[in-house]
């Protein structure tokens, strides 16, 4: 991998990783839905509908209308549920997600740590899943979708931005302000054109296993394009126009439970 990527230290900065099909192979939402169905938190009919939606997203991407529908589904699914029950799913979900972390992503995380750069997950997945996963991977923190909790029960309303599209940028900008990151020195990775706002917000965007729209945009703008294998192979492709030094990235801040870390000073 060293023949393709060079990560150096400098002013305070961070690396921002999309989760699904970037940091991990496949969909975290599907893994969450399977386990939620097993314990009775998601009815079978909703599981089937969400599975179909996940397939459609994979094949055709997401428009503003479909992303609004995704947001409604995410919030609607937890209305009346106890937060402790969702957090309890981590015992089964986290090992499965960790198994699916791409080997190349693990190496990139390590290179960023050695360069003194903070690393974050940014995902529309629930904060109760994203933050523990980030901790388990030794990352600085995670951005996830946070829902309002009243007396331990979800109300079905957002508590902060929906961490999708422009919502990810809002989170990253807030984190950059508090931690004095220079976004022009930061890195971001994603596979999807839905994350163009996140990629365009940093100085070092990288397209990972990109969908067709993101690949076209990356080629037009001279962004690095890397292909992560499903298993163990290293990066095998990049754009010819990429400079010798290529950024790597993952981003986020804690939107849910307050995270106390030496490297993260964000406070709501």
How many residues would you count in the chain?
268
Are 74 and 145 within 8 A, CB to CB? Answer: yes
CA distance 36 to 42: 6
Catalytic residue among 18, 118, 195, 211: 18
CA distance 12 to 170: 19
Q: Is 20 a catalytic residue?
A: yes
Catalytic residue among 20, 118, 191, 195: 20
Alpha-carbon torsion, ordered 144, 146, 152, 154, to 10 deg: -120
The DSSP element (H or E) to which 147 belongs, if any, is strand 147-150
Structure tokens at 19: 């989760």
Q: What does the DSSP assignment read for 166-194? A: HHHHHHHHHHHHHHT--GGG-EEEES-GG
CA distance 228 to 250: 15
Q: Is 118 a catalytic residue?
A: no
Q: β-strands 204-208, 225-226: how paired?
A: parallel
Are 186 and 214 within 8 A, CB to CB? Answer: no
| Residues recognised as catalytic | 18, 20
């Amino acid at each position: 991998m060293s023949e393709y990527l060079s990560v150096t230290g400098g002013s305070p900065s961070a690396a921002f990783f999309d989760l699904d099909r970037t940091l991990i192979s496949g969909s975290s939402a599907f893994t969450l839905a399977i386990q939620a169905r097993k314990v009775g938190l998601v009815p079978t009919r909703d599981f089937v509908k969400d599975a179909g939606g996940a397939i459609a997203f994979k094949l055709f991407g997401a428009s503003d209308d479909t992303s609004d529908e995704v947001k409604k589904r995410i919030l609607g699914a937890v209305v009346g549920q106890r937060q402790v029950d969702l957090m309890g799913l981590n015992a089964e979900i986290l090992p499965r997600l960790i198994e699916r972390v791409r080997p190349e992503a693990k190496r990139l995380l390590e290179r960023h740590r050695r360069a003194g750069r903070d690393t974050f997950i940014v995902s529309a997945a629930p904060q109760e899943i994203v933050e523990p996963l980030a901790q388990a991977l030794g990352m600085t923190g995670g951005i996830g979708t946070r829902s309002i909790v009243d007396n331990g029960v979800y109300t079905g309303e957002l508590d902060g931005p929906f961490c999708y599209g422009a919502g990810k940028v809002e989170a990253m900008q807030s984190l950059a302000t508090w931690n004095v990151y220079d976004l022009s020195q930061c890195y971001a990775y994603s596979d999807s054109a839905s994350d163009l706002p996140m990629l365009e917000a940093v100085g070092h965007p990288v397209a990972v296993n990109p969908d067709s729209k993101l690949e076209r945009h990356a080629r037009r703008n001279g962004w690095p394009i890397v292909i992560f294998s499903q298993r163990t192979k290293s990066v095998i492709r990049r754009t010819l126009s990429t400079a010798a030094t290529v950024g790597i990235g993952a981003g986020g801040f804690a939107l849910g439970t307050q995270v106390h870390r030496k490297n993260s000073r964000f406070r709501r």
